[in-house]
Amino acid sequence: MKKYKQPSTIGRFGEFGGMYVSETLMPLLLNLDKSYKKIQKDKKFKKELNDLFKNYVGRPSSLHYAKNLSKYINGPKVYFKRDELNHTGAHKINNCLGQILLAKKMGKTRIIAETGAGQHGVATATVCALFGLPCYIYMGSKDIERQKPNVFRMKLLGATIIPVESGSKSLKDAMNEALRDWIKNVRDTFYIIGSTAGPHPYPKMVRDFQSVIGKEAREQILKVEKKLPDYLIACVGGGSNAMGLFYPFLNDKNVKIIGVEAAGKGAKTEETAATMTSGTPGILHGSYSYVLQDNDGQIKEAHSISAGLDYPGVGPEHSYLKDIKRVKYFGITDKEALEAFQICSKLEGIIPALEPSHALAYLIKAFKNKQKNKVVILNLCGRGDKDLFTAAKAIGFDADE
């Protein structure tokens, strides 16, 4: 197998990716790309980021052998890469720290971001508080409604939340509005994108910052199991936690890799967010990748119980990995994810976010009574505190009973 080397200098993963933005943004992206390339060689930057990872985030996150769940599945040995233990409760902080250090180096004085589940918004608001920069978070009004704890968190951290009322009032529309803000305020503003989506260099940059997850997991598993894992499993919305885990293993051809999308009410229904299972290649938010669209190329609204996966697009690198068959992608419904959410809580004493609950559901479904003696690493990329109300409502739990 040829050594994996993506993207190209113009941000292409095979045919996917690229920079499809208006001329108001193009010079900025080229400048961002240049600055990013420069800091990659900057030892001081690396040291600063690693210090923050260690002392502010609490990295490395542990690799936990989920004994009870493994026993329940009666299949492979399951390890959780516990990025839900990070400061702010998800993997999102890894990328935000990298990007805000870059913003500082570029002399930007105002930060904007989009958020779906609120995890990226919280992480952005956190790093803005730490670095003393004003922070504006675009969030769909539907997501504001279902992620109230995170909304309050962001406000406590000093961020201004701008509700987005257009379109489906969720992540896609928040991203449209954030891009508009950026076009309007190009000179002083840095846009911290939270996923491996958007125009080049974001998909590459976010992947690179998140790949600390995979690098650690690789070392950790080699230490305890004396071998590489047989499987990696992670959930995919835009795909940042998954790329973070997958990337350092892409050249290990014996490691099978699985991405789990949110199929909502079913991948074949209209209420889905399973972009790669149900979508076709198209352009959304500046990048060529799989999207949910109709015959005229109008982007469809996605649906998932998990706000973090409720996105009709996916990062271009995932599209590429799907097409070269390096990673296999499957859909998990709201219902299946909710069941896994409860199973994991009961068996492991870990309440997972609804996003990784999709990965858990796939693991339970596909590996039950199978693949014994194999080793699986699952990215537990977020904790479930933010989802308690949504889950309680969906399960039919009444606190007053």
Binding footprint of another protein on the chain (CB under 8 A) = 10, 18-24, 26-28, 166-167, 172, 176, 179-180, 183-187, 282-286, 293, 295-299
- Cβ-based nearer residue to another protein, 142 or 172: 172
CA distance 160 to 386: 19
> For residue 158, what are the β-bridge partners?
none
Residue 312 Cα to chain centre, angstroms: 14
- Cβ-based nearer residue to another protein, 207 or 300: 300
Q: Which region holds residue 14: left if phi is over 0, alpha if psi is between -120 and 50, else beta? A: left
Least separation in angstroms between residue 11's CB and another protein is: 9
In angstroms, the Cα distances linking 196 to 32, 193, 211, 340, 389 are 15, 8, 11, 26, 28
Residue type, 285: H
CA distance 344 to 348: 6
- Whether the CA torsion 304, 275, 266, 352 is positive or negative: it is negative
- Cβ-based nearer residue to another protein, 106 or 283: 283
Tokens of 121: 């918004």
- Cβ-based nearer residue to another protein, 293 or 357: 293
DSSP 8-class letter at 159: P
Least separation in angstroms between residue 176's CB and another protein is: 5
Least separation in angstroms between residue 280's CB and another protein is: 8
Least separation in angstroms between residue 242's CB and another protein is: 24
CA distance 264 to 302: 8
- Cβ-based nearer residue to another protein, 183 or 366: 183
- Cβ-based nearer residue to another protein, 139 or 376: 139
Least separation in angstroms between residue 283's CB and another protein is: 4
Least separation in angstroms between residue 305's CB and another protein is: 23
